[in-house]
Amino acid sequence: MSSEFLALPGAVEGTDIDAGVAAHYGNPFVEQRSLAAGEAVVDLSHHAVLSISGPDRLSWLDSLTSQSVKNLAPGESSETLLLDPQGRLEYAVKLIDDGETVWLLLEAAEAEPLLAWLTRMRFMLRVEIADRTAEFATIGSLGAPDLPVVAPAGVPLAWRDPWVAVTAGGHQYAAQAGHPAAGWTWSESLVPRTALAEVAAAHPVAGILAAEALRVEAWRPRLALDADERTIPHELDWLRSAVHLNKGCYRGQETVAKVHNLGHPPRRLVMLHLDGSDDVLPDHGSEVLLGDTVVGRITSVARHHELGPIALAVVKRSVDPSAPLIVAAGESLIAAAQEVIVPTDAGASASVPRLPRLGAVQR
């Protein structure tokens, strides 16, 4: 499904998971600055939109997913994860409820399998699930642009990213002071798909490369890039915005609780500042090396208008945060300095009393 934004002058189409929208319009750094200033909008019309209506919609989602959403108020934004029985990530979903329907925003590749899974899980509950992607498109921004936001039940469907702060019931592994998401005002608005040409003509535009650079700067995980088949939420610090640690049972909860209270995530997310002297960027999946040993892989990479080349990577928990790393980019080796997101001692948050050794004398 090609977007009207691609008809704008200078538009260069994205690739892979971002095919169908513009990667940039000729000057990604200018677009980044315009987006960061809250002036530009980003075409996200390649993303999917699902809806769930019916009186049981919120309690049903609450029973299936990691976030507490049963009391989600009309107009309130949330984010939740669907995990497998071992606590590994399967879906990440952005939620906004309008009092009658809860709207799910997610990557296009996730929509069909999630829709099928939710349909199987309906049982006798009063819920109706539909794919609304053909009707509505998503527009991203870091400001408050005047957009023709849809409001089927009188509540504008503008999702505001909860990543800006630790949500109720959540937990942050990253250092509390100086988190780069403190100024992250990202929002995603639903507009009629028929209005895309109007939106494209009325606003400064930025491509997906600009949005990705600012996302990486904010340490904000994206499931399609930063997770793999083994990822648990703790490794990406996703307990910050998408997990409620005190809610009732859901699939994967045992792993979430056990790792957070008693164990440590086996891997951890870092931001890498890359040496840009050779003007080479690694690809998604490029190996991260400590000496000659592979210790992780690049998950997201970008050229930032102020920070230069940066990346998110998932590395082994045991990697020394001060150790200089190397990223293999084809035939090139790129020096990389770590910025800690998830620390090596993340987890083991419960105060568990030590049991006395058998036979020990108690004083």
Q: Which 8-state DSSP code applies to residue 354?
A: P
Taking alpha carbons only, the member of 172, 175, 164, 170 closest to residue 340 is: 175
Query: How crowded is residue 174: how many other Cβ atoms within 10 Å of its Cβ?
Result: 20
Do 268 and 327 form a contact (C-beta atoms < 8 A)?
no
Say which CATH class 4-240 falls into.
Answer: alpha beta
> How far apart, in whole angstroms, are the C-alpha atoms of residue 295 and residue 273?
16
pLDDT, position 278: 84
pLDDT of amino acid 358:
44
Give the per-residue pLDDT at 124.
80
CA nearest to 21, candidates 38, 1, 41, 36 = 1
What pLDDT score does 347 carry?
Answer: 93
Q: Residue ranges of the chain with pLDDT lower than 70?
A: 1, 351-363
Where do the domains of the chain lie? 4-240, 267-340
pLDDT of residue 2: 77
Q: Do 236 and 225 contact (CB within 8 A), yes or no?
A: no
Report pLDDT digits (tens) over 204-240: 999 999 999 999 999 999 999 999 999 999 999 999 9
In the block, tokens 């997201």 appear at 300
Please report the pLDDT score of residue 351 as a whole number: 55
Q: Are 167 and 222 in contact (CB under 8 A)?
A: no
- Alpha-carbon span 300 to 284, nearest angstrom: 6
Fold of 267-340: Elongation Factor Tu (Ef-tu); domain 3 (2.40.30)
Tokens of 69: 């959403």
Give the per-residue pLDDT at 362: 40
